[in-house]
Amino acid sequence: MPLDTSTYNLALLRVDGRRWNELRQQKGQLGVQPSADGSAYLEMGNTKIQCIITGPNERDTKSTSSASTAPTSHGLGATVAVSIMIAPFATVDRKRRGRNDKRLQEMQTTIASGLAATVQGQSYGPRSTIHISLNVLSQDGSLLACLINAASLALVDAGVPMTDYLVACTAGSTSSYAAADEEADPLLDLNTQEEQELPFLTLATLGATDKVVAMVCESRVQLTRLEGMMATAADGCKGVRDFLDGVVRDKGELMVQEGAIGRGEVVSSMDLD
């Protein structure tokens, strides 16, 4: 169903009532699967992801042959293995995907190499593997971005050292490629409806910095619009990082309150003689 984008120019409101630079509502939870080494649940709008982490451990990777792997620390650190499972009920039309769906494999590779650049795996040694299993429970746009964010959150829960959160966000442009509209506004965090009609890209950055770790753009768009889209996406990444950070802090504070972990100390230069 094509999206009627003409209304956007009248009210500057998108189909779901957001403005151009608003993220969808996000919900996040850590440690949803206590028996796993790390786990997280993340919602960005109606895209819902559960991520389970096993490892780092030293087990043969034969059982997860469909996973995409990438080594950390230039081959000196642990390997990151990512596998994505999309539930048959995740989309409106119920369909089953094969294990070697090429689109899925490409997403797996992108996530694996992105995370491998962020994880500090040298303390684990090259023989260990971090298995990241991502389950898509509901799919409504920005899938790759949401998968990256969920994996990032679960890695923090697993206690794997990382340079920063790897956060991702999508950005689009208000008119199609054919319209050749140089003045088109960028849009942040697209849903399925918008993704189907408008050109968009997914951008992953290292935390709140402007360091781009991964960028995926599968649609045709004029080069002049690209910069605006990237800037918007990078801005969205900052918002996502704030959110993920808040989830982790809330969980940590709860654990401190309950006495599960000791209170942390505070660095101040006063303490030094």
Partner 1 sequence: MPITILQPSLAPPAKLRDADSDSDSEGGADLEGDIAMGRPAKRARTQDSSIMTPGEIITDDPQWMRGHGTYVIPGASSNTILSSVAGTLAKTNKLLSVRPLRARYTPEIGDLVVGRIVEVQAKRWRVDVGGTLLAQLPLSAINLPGGIQRRRTETDELQIRTFFSEGELLVAEVQQLYNDGAAVLHTRSLKYGKLRNGVFMSVTGTGGGGGVVRARRQAFTLDISGTDEVSGSEKIDVLLGVNGYIWISKHIEGEGAAAETSGPGITRIEESVGLNVYSSQNDIIPVDTMREIARVRGVVTALVENGLRVDEEMVTKGYAEAVEMAKEERDSADTLWLGGERGKRLANALVGR
- Strand positions, DSSP E, the chain: 26-30, 38-44, 47-57, 68-71, 79-86, 129-138, 166-173, 186-188, 200-206, 212-217
Instruction: Please count the residues of the chain.
Output: 273
Please give the residues from 95 up to 114 whose contact with partner 1 meets the rule CB under 8 A: none
Q: How far is CA 139 from CA 30, 131, 192, 209, 211, in A?
A: 20, 22, 8, 28, 27
Q: Which residue of 95, 103, 211, 249 would you call a contact of partner 1, by CB under 8 A?
A: 249
Contact region with partner 1 (CB under 8 A), list: 108-116, 160-168, 197-205, 217-225: 160-168
Question: DSSP label at 4?
Answer: -
The helix-helix angle for 143-158 and 102-118 (nearest 10°) equals 40
**Contact of 163 with 206, CB cutoff 8 Å:** yes
| 242 part of the interface to partner 1, by CB under 8 A | yes
| Whole-angstrom distance, CA of residue 272 vs CA of residue 269 | 6
- Which contacts qualify for 28-33: CB closer than 8 Å, 24 or more apart? 28/153, 28/243, 28/244, 28/247, 29/247, 30/153, 30/154, 30/156, 30/157, 30/247, 30/248, 30/251, 31/157, 31/251
| 25 part of the interface to partner 1, by CB under 8 A | yes
| 199 part of the interface to partner 1, by CB under 8 A | no
Please give the residues from 113 up to 152 whose contact with partner 1 meets the rule CB under 8 A: 120, 123-128
| Whole-angstrom distance, CA of residue 158 vs CA of residue 144 | 21
| 245 part of the interface to partner 1, by CB under 8 A | yes
Contact region with partner 1 (CB under 8 A), list: 95-103, 143-151, 156-164, 214-222: 156-164
Please give the residues from 36 up to 55 whose contact with partner 1 meets the rule CB under 8 A: 37-38, 55
Q: Which residue of 93, 182, 183, 271 would you call a contact of partner 1, by CB under 8 A?
A: 271
Contact region with partner 1 (CB under 8 A), list: 23-31, 67-75, 92-100, 195-203: 23-31
CB of 103 to partner 1, least distance (A): 27
CB of 232 to partner 1, least distance (A): 9
What are the phi and psi torsion angles at 28 (to 5°)?
-145, 150
| 26 part of the interface to partner 1, by CB under 8 A | yes
| 183 part of the interface to partner 1, by CB under 8 A | no
| 20 part of the interface to partner 1, by CB under 8 A | yes
CB of 204 to partner 1, least distance (A): 14
| 238 part of the interface to partner 1, by CB under 8 A | yes
| 164 part of the interface to partner 1, by CB under 8 A | yes
Query: What one-letter code names the amino acid at 119?
Result: V
- Strand positions, DSSP E, 11-128: 26-30, 38-44, 47-57, 68-71, 79-86
Q: CA Rg, the chain, in Å? A: 20
Please give the residues from 201 up to 230 whose contact with partner 1 meets the rule CB under 8 A: 206-208
Q: Which residue of 84, 115, 134, 247 would you call a contact of partner 1, by CB under 8 A?
A: 247
| 260 part of the interface to partner 1, by CB under 8 A | yes
Contact region with partner 1 (CB under 8 A), list: 86-94, 95-103, 223-231, 246-254: 246-254
What are the phi and psi torsion angles at 231 (to 5°)?
-65, -40
Residue closer to partner 1 (CB basis): 4 or 58: 58
